[in-house]
Amino acid sequence: MGRVVELRCITCNRVYAPEPARYVCDACGPLRGTLEVRYDYDELRRRLTPQSFAASGHAGHWRYVDLLPVPSPGPAGALRVGWTPLYEVPRLRAHLELPRLFVKDDGLNPSASFKDRASSLGVARALEVGATAVTAASTGNAAASLATLASSVGLPAYIFVPRGAPRGKLAQLLMHGAIVFEVNANYDTAFDLCLEASARFGWYSRNTAYNPYLGEGKKTAALEVCEQLGWAAPDRVFVSVGDGCIFSGLWKGFRDLLAVGLAQRTPRLVGVQAAGAAPLVKAHAEGKAEAEPMEPRTRADSISVGVPRDQVKALRAARESGGTFVAVTDEEIFAAQRLLARQAGIFGEPAGVAGLAGLLKMLEAGQVGHDETVVVLVTGHGLKDVDAALDAAQGTLHPVEPTLAAVERVLTRAR
């Protein structure tokens, strides 16, 4: 295990001991006072080698337990999370004239979402501190992920979702036995209610921008990317952004590898938001350290966020990495969803493929070099939101009688 030496506020730099009940900075509060987990990097630098992780004996992202804030996965390691494939996507490369493009498919995690990386850490931490229940607010993926991982260890899960959450994600929640509160409001209100309830009832909070340990799970995707590229960082990483937690978690992972001497450089991070929910795009363009709230409007439900909870960390990550944020329309997201499925065989949900939509937009604008090594993260499987997928597919059903002649008539019309 990496020895956690402190939790540090990202706004005021106040330092706290890594106590079980510590979530945010007392002085700065939940939105501005998110904490960062800090390790004894000198000790880790002396001990870790590229071979250390493969020799750990743990499956999935738990191979990086030496860089995580738990001594072992324990029962939370029962489901395989992480170590998802980094595909070379030859047809998509040729189509985009981008020969060093890679796509990492996190839709292959147990709940079909990137969020399993954080949930597995949250459940492991909950068990370590003796929690009797876990909770989260989510537009769907984080909630479904927590319900999945909690059920694998027998922890009750209390979930807060906003009205209109996709049916596929609600089905996962109910199937795994979670108690689901469907809040008659948007995600931001559901998040606030979840924090109130967790404080009142003593539930362990899995909310990523609130619980500092959850980002440590998300950083494992950055560790995997570097290891899968032969311990070399890519030039750019594109990923969808809602609360900003994945974005900041990735940056933490790349920085941790640099701190322990297992990477020589870090990539530029590009966070992609839906145009109808793009407060970080606006804040970054204006050089601000915080975002102005907005009413989100997008079909990409997992990034339909008007008040990004990890905004300070996310904006800092963009600045420090030399990266940026870009906004894409829902139509551009749907086009990227079709392109990825038809050129690479990877089916992502709208929020899951927003990163690719951002790459397409920046390529068209000449803002990405064709000689760059680029990684696009797909954060959720397409079956998470079937209604959106049917709209995006733009396909046609051809009802036919059970005769070859009927098939031939359709083929003739289609030519």
CATH number, residue 245: 3.40.50.1100
- Asked whether residue 314 is assigned to any structural domain, the reply reads yes
Contact 236, 375 (CB under 8 A): yes
The structure tokens listed for 195 are: 């924090």
* Nearest residue to 66 via CA among 86, 49, 78, 85: 49
Structural domains counted in the chain: 1
112: its two tokens? 């079909």
Q: Specify the pLDDT at position 181.
A: 93
Q: What residues pair up with 309 in beta bridges, in sequence order?
A: none
DSSP states of 370-409: TTS-EEEEE-BBGGGGHHHHHHHH--------SSHHHHHH
What confidence score (pLDDT) does residue 3 get? 82
Q: Give a yes or no: residue 253 inside a domain.
A: yes
pTM for the complete prediction? Answer: 0.93
Domain with 273, as residue range(s), is: 86-112+215-393
What's the CA gap between 213 and 206, in Å, rounded?
9
Rounded CA gap, 393 and 390, in Å?
5
**Within a domain: 336:** yes
Q: How far apart are CA 211 and CA 135, in angstroms?
A: 11
Q: Is residue 206 part of a domain?
A: no
What pLDDT score was predicted for residue 63?
Answer: 96
Predicted confidence at residue 391, as pLDDT, reads: 87
10-residue mean pLDDT series, the chain (415 residues): 84 91 89 92 93 90 95 92 98 98 97 96 94 90 92 96 83 93 90 92 89 94 97 97 95 97 96 97 95 92 90 95 98 97 97 97 97 98 87 86 94 84
Dihedral sign for Cα 317, 324, 60, 380, please.
positive
Cα three-residue angle 389-391-397, rounded to 5 degrees: 95
Is residue 13 in a domain? no
Residue 51 lies in a domain: no
256 is a domain residue: yes
**Using CA atoms, how far apart are residues 324 and 412, in angstroms rounded to an integer?**
48
Indicate whether 151 belongs to any domain: no
Q: What is the DSSP string of 81-127?
A: -----EE--HHHHHHHT-TTEEEEEGGGSTTSBTTHHHHHHHHHHHH
Rounded to a whole number, what is the distance in angstroms from the first to the last CA of the chain?
Answer: 61
Report the candidate in 245, 242, 225 with the shortest Cα–Cα distance to residue 233.
225
Of 354, 415, 405, 384, nearest to 112 by C-alpha is: 384
Task: For residue 360, give Cα distances in angstroms to 113, 144, 270, 304.
Answer: 23, 29, 12, 21
Grouping H, G, I as helix, E, B as strand and the rest as coil, residue 299 is coil
